[in-house]
Every structure is written in structure tokens, then in C-alpha cells.
Amino acid sequence: MPDFRQTPHRTVLPSPVPSAPASPPALNVLGEPLQECGCAPMTGWYRDGFCRTDGADLGRHTVCCVVNETFLSYTRAQGNDLSTPAPAFGYPGLRPGDHWCVCAARWLEAYEDGMAPPVRLAACERSTLEIIPLEVLRSCAA
């Protein structure tokens, strides 16, 4: 599975995919156990379907989105094409309706520009709140 990671301004292909640390279960922005974001395609910093993060995740991939064409076009215009497949990396590309962990700062930028996709609050990791207020996330809840 490819390791397409989003930084605030471009896609980065680090290698290898980090392994998830042994730690207490992550919480979501509602203070409950973090729910899975999506596995088709596989998403998350750890490529385990969850929008969890660690100190090496400079983009903080903690916002679980239901991507739409508006957001895919927006992020492509920002230099991060998430919709084009990359077969060499086994990456199918995203389509409207896919669930994907995006960088908190990129999602907030899209929100401020009126282009943010809906979010799944139960699958957004709690540290998202250090960047995006809960009220803003709630206003875009799927």
C-alpha cells in the first residue's frame, strides 16, 4: 500500500510506513474512543484506517473526511493531487465518498476558503482540537 501523506502544501512519500506505537486507545474530538475512518482505500498515518498521529507526523493527519469533488479539486489546485491513481505505489486515487485522513491545517485552510469536505467527528483524533475548534468541526459534521 502506498504511503501518500499530505503536508500542508504537497504530497510526501516517506518510507517505510511507521508502525503504530503501543499506547492507550486514542480518543476522538468528542472525548470517546477513536473510530475507524476508512480502509478502502486504506488511510491514516499508520495506514491502519485510523486518523491517529505521532510526533513524526508533521502534517497531523487527524481529520477524517468524506472527500467530495470540491475538496479534491481544491487540494489538487494547492499542489496535492489526491484523485489521480499512482499504480506504481498501489494507490488507487480518491473518489468522492471515500473516507480519508487529512492534515488538520489543510482541512482548516479548505474550510476558510469554503471548500472543506464533511468530517466524521467520531473518527477525528482528539489532537485535531489544537488546530481546529470543535464548533468548526461540528459545523461540517457528516
Q: Which residues of 113-136 are buried (b: 16+ CB within 10 A; e: fewer)?
A: eebbbebbbbbbbbbbbeebeeeb
- Sorted by where each starts, the structural domains of the chain and their CATH numbers stand as 26-139 (3.30.56.110)
Q: Enumerate the β-bridge partners of residue 100.
A: 65
CB 34 within 8 A of CB 48: no
Give me the sign of the Cα torsion angle 126, 132, 136, 139.
Answer: negative
Tell me what the mean pLDDT of segment 62-91 comes to: 94
Please, which residues have CB within 8 angstroms of residue 140's CB and are 6 or more apart in sequence? 111, 116, 117, 118, 119
**37-74 tens-digit pLDDT:** 999 989 999 999 999 999 999 999 999 999 999 999 99
Compute the average pLDDT of residues 126-142.
97
Tens of pLDDT, residue by residue over 3-19, are 454 444 444 444 445 55
Q: How far apart are CA 104 and CA 90, in angstroms?
A: 25
C-beta neighbour count of 42 within 10 angstroms: 18
Give the Cα separation of 26 and 46 in Å (integer).
Answer: 13
Cis previous bond, 16, omega within 30: yes
